[in-house]
Each structure stands twice: as structure tokens, then as C-alpha cells.
């Protein structure tokens, strides 16, 4: 039977550990970790994600500071808000909800976040530190995947890993994390030629391309580790899981696999940042 990598189960267990850590911080330092979230505009999906993150904060006993800015916010106005949060000693971590409206220079705003409060792992400096094996908060989805693989004792060293996707907050950091774990990594994307052939040789397949069922089940070899980091309105991910569930070594269900680990990692890194900052 394939091993189901149950992110929902692991995140619930982790929340219990985080609660204890938060209680320890409160008793020893008299301080409550605080996650500041910035939502620009009124995109319903983004608002839902921010609400889910706020609920997770509440479950483990940390504060959630919600900043909501209008759709017409400028880059300068957003940078000013980020600076205020950087300077706020009560704030342990900062999350700028992606995407922001098109008139905003998103990369400049991400990079303006103090790396010590970059608990979502979005700054170039944080990415560089992580890639070089230095202390950094990893981008939450790939970091959550690595925690899930570690929980289920999935061996990575020497494995041939294929990451399909190259986004700066998922595909690229995922590849670097796997490389740092001594996997041999190939990065592909929607324009890669002979993608089927490349995927068919993979011991580990990570779907992170953002297209529903883009990776066909018949491309994936038997006994592979299948990680689907996508989620779409069609209630499916980036991989056609139906044809591979019964013959792979392990897989992440959609939903309930990668998603819960993303939010849990954000909360964990916020608490860790609080420990370091205070």
C-alpha cells in the first residue's frame, strides 16, 4: 500500500508542539509572538488565505495583526507600511499576501521585509542564505514539504528529484532544499521539452507548475515519491494522481497534503522568529 503523506495529520500534531512552545515563551519572556499579515486589495482567494492564517494563529495562541490596504495602494505606501512593521518590536513575523495589485513592485516590497521577520521566506536575502545552507526561514510551501518528508522518513539522499515549476516562492526554493538534502535535482517547467521522459526517470516528482493535472500519471514510474503542491478550483492539483496512487511509494493527497503544512510552517517560523528576536 502506498504511504499517504498526510499533511493535515502532521500539522495538527505540530500545532500541539507549537502551543507548548508559545506557552514557554509567554512564561519565560512575558511576550506573545505576533504575525502581521498585509492584504492589499479585495481578492477573495487572498482574503480566504489570510483568514486561514489568522485562524491558525488563534489555535496556537499567538497574536495576528491584520493590515488591510486598498486596491489602489502604491509601492511607496506599501513600503512605508512594511517599514512600520519592521520597526515594531511587538511583531515577530511579517507576511505580505501574494499576489499584490499590478501597479505595485512586489519584489521590492518582499525584499523590504526585515530578513529576521521574513517568516514566509520571500526575500532574496533569505533565499540566498537558504540556498547556501545558512540560517534562514525557508519559503513556507517547500519548507513544509521538507518537514512532511522528514516526518515520514522519506530518504532523499542520492535520489533523482524532478521539480516541475520555477516560481521564486515554490519551485526554485524547493529545488535548492532538495539539493541541500543531497538529492540530484532537475528543474523543469511548462516549456520544458521532453518533459515526459524527464519525469519518467524521477524517484521524486514535485508538481509545482500551477496548471491542473499538468503532469500525467502515466509519466510517473512505479514506486516514485509523488508530491503535489498545486490546488485548483477543480479540486485537483498539478498531478493526475488517480492513475498513480496505487503504484507509487508515497504521495500527498489533494487537498490535505501540502496545504496544511504551508500554513503550519508559517506559524512555526513566526514562533521561532519570536524566540530569536526577544
Q: Is 235 a catalytic residue?
A: no
Sign of CA dihedral 254, 187, 146, 49: negative
Encode burial over 120-154: b for 16+ CB neighbours within 10 A, e otherwise: bbbbeebbebbbeeeebbbbbbbbbbbbbbebeeb
Q: Is 120 a catalytic residue?
A: yes
- What is the Cα–Cα distance from 85 to 237, expressed in whole angstroms? 34
Q: Of these residues, 6, 114, 118, 120, which one is catalytic?
A: 120
Instruction: Say if residues 62 and 74 touch (Cβ distance below 8 Å).
Output: no
Identify the residue whose cell numbers are 526554493: 173
Q: Of these residues, 53, 117, 159, 172, which one is catalytic?
A: 53
- What is the Cα–Cα distance from 201 to 71, expressed in whole angstroms? 45
Say which residues have a Cβ less than 8 Å from residue 74's Cβ, sequence separation at least 6.
103, 104
Lay out the sheet containing 63-69: strands in order across: 63-69, 34-40, 93-96
Encode burial over 208-246: b for 16+ CB neighbours within 10 A, e otherwise: bbbebbbbebebbeeebbbbbbbbeeeebbbbbbeebee
Q: Of these residues, 6, 81, 97, 118, which one is catalytic?
A: 97
Q: Is 97 a catalytic residue?
A: yes
Would you please indicate which residues are annotated as catalytic (active-site) residues?
53, 97, 120
Amino acid at each position: 500500500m502506498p504511504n499517504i503523506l498526510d499533511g493535515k495529520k502532521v500539522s495538527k500534531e505540530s500545532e500541539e508542539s507549537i502551543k507548548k512552545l508559545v506557552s514557554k515563551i509567554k512564561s519565560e519572556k512575558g511576550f506573545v509572538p505576533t504575525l502581521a499579515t498585509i492584504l492589499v486589495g479585495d481578492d477573495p482567494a487572498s482574503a480566504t488565505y489570510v483568514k486561514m492564517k489568522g485562524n491558525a494563529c488563534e489555535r496556537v495562541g499567538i497574536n495576528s495583526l491584520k493590515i488591510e490596504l486598498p486596491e489602489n495602494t502604491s509601492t511607496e505606501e506599501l513600503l512605508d507600511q512594511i517599514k512600520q512593521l519592521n520597526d515594531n518590536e511587538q511583531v515577530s513575523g511579517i507576511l505580505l499576501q501574494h499576489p499584490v495589485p499590478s501597479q505595485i513592485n512586489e519584489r521590492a516590497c518582499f525584499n523590504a521585509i526585515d530578513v529576521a521577520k521574513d517568516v514566509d521566506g520571500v526575500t532574496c536575502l533569505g533565499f540566498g542564505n537558504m540556498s547556501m545552507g545558512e540560517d534562514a526561514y525557508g519559503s513556507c510551501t517547500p519548507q513544509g514539504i521538507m518537514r512532511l518528508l522528514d516526518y515520514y522518513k522519506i530518504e532523499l539522499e542520492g535520489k533523482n528529484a524532478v521539480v516541475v515549476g520555477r516560481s521564486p516562492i515554490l519551485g526554485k526554493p524547493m529545488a535548492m532544499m532538495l539539493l541541500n538534502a543531497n538529492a540530484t535535482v532537475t528543474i523543469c517547467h511548462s516549456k520544458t521539452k521532453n518533459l515526459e521522459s524527464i519525469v519518467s526517470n524521477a524517484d521524486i516528482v514535485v508538481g509545482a507548475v500551477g496548471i491542473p493535472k499538468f503532469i500525467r500519471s502515466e509519466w510517473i514510474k512505479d514506486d516514485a515519491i509523488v508530491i503535489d503542491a498545486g490546488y485548483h478550483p477543480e479540486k485537483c492539483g498539478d498531478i493526475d494522481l488517480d492513475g498513480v496512487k496505487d503504484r507509487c511509494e508515497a504521495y500527498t493527497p489533494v487537498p490535505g497534503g501540502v496545504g496544511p503544512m504551508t500554513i503550519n510552517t508559517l506559524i512555526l517560523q513566526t514562533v521561532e522568529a519570536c524566540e530569536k528576536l526577544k
